[in-house]
Chain A
C-alpha cells in the first residue's frame, strides 16, 4: 500500500513538472480599484477595459494565462493597504494595478515594490513617484497627474484666456492639478480654492467665482464631484459667463450623460478620445460597446492600455515575471503594443509621453451631446518631473 502511494505521488510529481513547463500556473494580477462611492464608475471602467483585453485573448495576456483578482478600495487608503497586504502576502500576486485615486497610490505602490512585485498604473500617477521618487518596477499607462492639467493650461493659452479662477479638492492629486495648470498657463490667477474631497454643495465656491469675475474657470473635480459642480454652476447661470476649460477627468462620457445640456460648451483636454481613428481604438470601442453595452470612458481606455502594456511584456518573457525581473522590466520599458491613443512611449521615469487633444462638448442637430476633438494642443508631452528621476 505504502509503495503504491509513494509511486503515485512520484508519478504525479513527475507529471506536474512536465505540465509546469507546458502549462504554467497563471500569472496573478491584483487589481485594487474604486468600485463604490460617487467615483465607482471610474474603477468599473478601468476594470472592464482591463478585462476586455484579457477576454479578447480568452483569459490570456500576451499568450500567458492570467488570473485577475479585483477588489474595491472604497476610495479609502486604509482599505487599499489591507487589500494590498492580502494580494501580496496571501495570494502571491506578481503584478499589481488598478488604483484610481492618488490618496491610495502612495500606500499601495511602496508595499507592492517592497514585496518585489511590479506595479502598472491605469490611472493615478502622483508627482512623488515621478521625480526623485521614481522606481524601476513602477510603470504608468495613463499620464503623470500634473500633465493631465498642464495640457489644460496650454489649451487655455491657445484659446486666448488671460485670467483664470482655479479650484480642486484638498488632496495630493488636487494639489498636483493646480500646480500642473499653473505651470503652463501664462495668464493671471484670479483666485484659487481648495474644496473637500467628495464635496456635494458648491454654492460658496460659485459665489466666490462670480465675485472674482475671471475670464475662465479651471477645475479638477472627477466623477460625482464634477457632476455636482457642473449642475450647480450651470444653474447659477455662470457657464456661459465664465467658460470652463478642464482636463478629461472633469469631463468624461458619464459626466456628460448625467448633466446633459449643462456640459455643452465645456472645453477639455484628453490623451484619448472615443473618436480617434486608429485601428486599435476602433477595435477597442466596438469591442467594449459589444461586451458591456455602453460607450467606454477615458478610464476604460486606460485600463485596456494597462492590460496591453502588461501583455506586451509577458509576451517578451514568455510569461515570466518574478523569474525574469530584468527581462520583464525592459520589455515594459519598450512598450511594444498598439495603444488605443495611437502612439505610446515611456519617458525615462516610466511615465508615458502623450499627445494631448483639445476638445469641446457640442450639441448635434439631432440633440445628441458629443465631446468633439478640435485640435492637438501638445505633442509627445514629457512631464515636469522626469528630469529629476535617476532612471535611464
Chain B
C-alpha cells in the first residue's frame, strides 16, 4: 500500500515536471499557432545554462537565473531570426524549420561544450530526503519540483486571466488582425510571448539538470512527451496541459511500476517482464489514442478562430 502511494507520488512528480516543459509549448503552440519542435532545444539550453553558471559561480541560484536568461534570450533570437517568418506559413514549413533548429542547436552546443555530459548537482539546501510515509524517504529535490510546478501553474493562470498582457494574448490568439487594428504591436507581443515560453522551457531544463544527464539531445526525449501532454490536454490550454501532464506522469509511472508484476499473475515471469516493459512504454500513447477518440480536441479544447 505504501509502495502504491509512493509510486503515485512519483507519478505526480513526473507529471508536474512534464507540465513545466509543456506549459511553454502549449502557450506557443496554442496562442501563436506555431509548432515549435525546437522547444526541446530551449529546454537543453536551460539545463546547460544552469550547469555552466552554477559551475562558474558555485551557486545554484545564480545558475538558475543564468538558465532563465540564456533560454529567454535564445528564444527571442529564434523568434526574431526565424519564427516570425513562419506564422503565415503552413505547419509543414514550421516543422521543417524548427527541426533544422534542433540540429543547429545540438551541433552548436556540441561545439561549445563537447559531448561529455556536464556536472550539475542538487543545491545543498535541497539535498537529502525526508520521511513522507513511515519507512519511505522521499528526495527533497523532487518535492521542490512539485512546488515549482504548482507556482508556475498559478503564475500562468494569473497572467492570462488577470493582467492586461494576458487579455491581449487571449485577444491576439482569437483575432490577430483586430488586435493589430486597435493599435497593439502584435509583432513585439509575439516576440515576448515566445521568449516567455522559452523561459519556461529553460526553467524546466534547469530544474531537470540535477536529476538527469545534462547532455546534447536531452530535450528531444522530453519533447515527445510534452507534445503528448499538450495534445491530451487540448492545444493552447494551460489547464489542459496541467491535467494532461499529471495523467501522463501517473499512467507512465504506474505502468512501469506495476504492469510487469500484474502480468505475472497470468504468465511466466520472463515473458511478463518483456511484455510488461513493452506495454508500459506504450501505455501513454494508448491513453492518448483513447482520449482523442472520445474527445478529438483534447480534454480542455480552446475555441480559437484562425484565418
Bitwise interface map of B from 6 to 21 toward A, beta carbon under 8 Å scored 1, else 0: 1100110110010000
CA distance A66 to B47 in the complex (A): 41
Segment at the interface with A among B30-38, B66-74, B116-124, B179-187: B116-124
Q: Tell me the chain A residues, 209-249 only, with Cβ under 8 Å from chain B.
A: 210-211, 223-225, 227-228, 231-232, 235-237
Q: A204-B253, A231-B210, A236-B129 in contact; A259/B139 too (CB < 8 A)?
A: no
Q: Would B117 and A227 count as touching, CB distance under 8 A? A: yes
Q: Tell me the chain A residues, 286-316 only, with Cβ under 8 Å from chain B.
A: 294
CA distance A35 to B216 in the complex (A): 10
Q: Would B281 and A257 count as touching, CB distance under 8 A? A: no
Q: Within the complex, which residue of B115, B142, B221, B277 is in contact with A194, where a contact is CB–CB below 8 Å?
A: B277
Q: Would B274 and A232 count as touching, CB distance under 8 A? A: no
Q: Would A205 and B117 count as touching, CB distance under 8 A? A: no
Is B178 in contact with chain A by the CB < 8 A criterion? no
Interface residues on B, range: 35 or more
CA distance A258 to B221 in the complex (A): 19
Cβ of B33 to closest chain A Cβ, rounded Å:
29
Query: Across the interface, which residues of B come within 8 angstroms of A35, CB to CB?
Result: 115
Is B3 in contact with chain A by the CB < 8 A criterion? yes
Q: Would A41 and B115 count as touching, CB distance under 8 A? A: yes
Q: Tell me the chain B residues, 142-165 only, with Cβ under 8 Å from chain A.
A: 142
Cβ of A47 to closest chain B Cβ, rounded Å:
11
Cβ of B181 to closest chain A Cβ, rounded Å:
46
Q: Within the complex, which residue of A40, A44, A203, A259 is in contact with B217, where a contact is CB–CB below 8 Å?
A: A40
Q: Within the complex, which residue of B10, B115, B210, B213 is in contact with A207, where a contact is CB–CB below 8 Å?
A: B10
Cβ of B163 to closest chain A Cβ, rounded Å:
34
CA distance A12 to B170 in the complex (A): 75
Q: A193-B260, A205-B256 in contact; A254/B117 too (CB < 8 A)?
A: yes
Q: Tell me the chain B residues, 251-276 only, with Cβ under 8 Å from chain A.
A: 253-254, 256-257, 260, 269, 273-274, 276
Closest to A189 in B: B269
Q: Would A207 and B257 count as touching, CB distance under 8 A? A: yes
CA distance A205 to B137 in the complex (A): 15
Q: Tell me the chain B residues, 35-83 only, with Cβ under 8 Å from chain A.
A: none
Query: Across the interface, which residues of B come within 8 angstroms of A279, CB to CB?
Result: none
Q: Would B119 and A204 count as touching, CB distance under 8 A? A: no
Q: A228-B211, A254-B116 in contact; A196/B137 too (CB < 8 A)?
A: no
Query: Across the interface, which residues of A come within 8 angstroms of B14, CB to CB?
Result: 201, 203
Number of A-B contacts (CB under 8 A): 126
Q: Would A235 and B115 count as touching, CB distance under 8 A? A: no
CA distance A41 to B118 in the complex (A): 12
Q: A40-B216, A196-B281, A224-B218 in contact; A204/B257 too (CB < 8 A)?
A: yes
Closest to B249 in A: A201
CA distance A259 to B120 in the complex (A): 8
Q: A224-B117, A237-B128 in contact; A203/B212 too (CB < 8 A)?
A: no
Main secondary structure of the interface of B (DSSP, over half): helix
CA distance A199 to B254 in the complex (A): 15
Q: Would B217 and A228 count as touching, CB distance under 8 A? A: no
Point out which of A195, A203, A231, A262 has the most chain B C-beta atoms below 10 A from its C-beta.
A203
Query: Across the interface, which residues of B come within 8 angstroms of A211, CB to CB?
Result: 3
Q: A194-B277, A204-B256, A207-B3 in contact; A36/B217 too (CB < 8 A)?
A: yes
Q: Within the complex, which residue of B6, B116, B222, B269 is in contact with A294, where a contact is CB–CB below 8 Å?
A: B116
Q: A203-B13, A260-B121 in contact; A236/B215 too (CB < 8 A)?
A: no
CA distance A82 to B23 in the complex (A): 37
Is B190 in contact with chain A by the CB < 8 A criterion? no
Q: Would A41 and B10 count as touching, CB distance under 8 A? A: no
Q: Tell me the chain B residues, 90-130 only, with Cβ under 8 Å from chain A.
A: 106, 110, 115-119, 121-122, 127-129
Is A282 in contact with chain B by the CB < 8 A criterion? no
CA distance A200 to B219 in the complex (A): 11
Q: A195-B256, A204-B10 in contact; A224/B139 too (CB < 8 A)?
A: no
Is A170 in contact with chain B by the CB < 8 A criterion? yes
Point out which of B10, B106, B118, B222 has the most chain A C-beta atoms below 10 A from its C-beta.
B10
CA distance A258 to B281 in the complex (A): 27
Q: Would B222 and A200 count as touching, CB distance under 8 A? A: yes
Q: Would B274 and A260 count as touching, CB distance under 8 A? A: no
Binding site for B on A (CB under 8 A): 35-38, 40-41, 44, 170, 192-196, 198, 200-201, 203-205, 207-208, 210-211, 223-225, 227-228, 231-232, 235-237, 254, 257-262, 294
Given A235-B127, A260-B119: 11 more A-B contacts, CB < 8 Å = A38-B117, A38-B215, A192-B273, A195-B256, A198-B221, A204-B256, A205-B256, A227-B212, A236-B137, A257-B119, A262-B121
What are the 9 A-B residue pairs with the smallest beta carbon separation, nearest first?
A194-B277, A227-B213, A224-B213, A203-B10, A170-B277, A258-B117, A204-B256, A41-B115, A204-B257
23 CB contacts below 8 A, A to B, read A36-B106, A36-B217, A38-B215, A38-B217, A38-B218, A41-B115, A41-B116, A170-B281, A200-B218, A200-B222, A205-B257, A207-B7, A208-B257, A228-B213, A232-B211, A235-B211, A237-B128, A257-B116, A258-B116, A258-B117, A258-B119, A260-B119, A261-B121
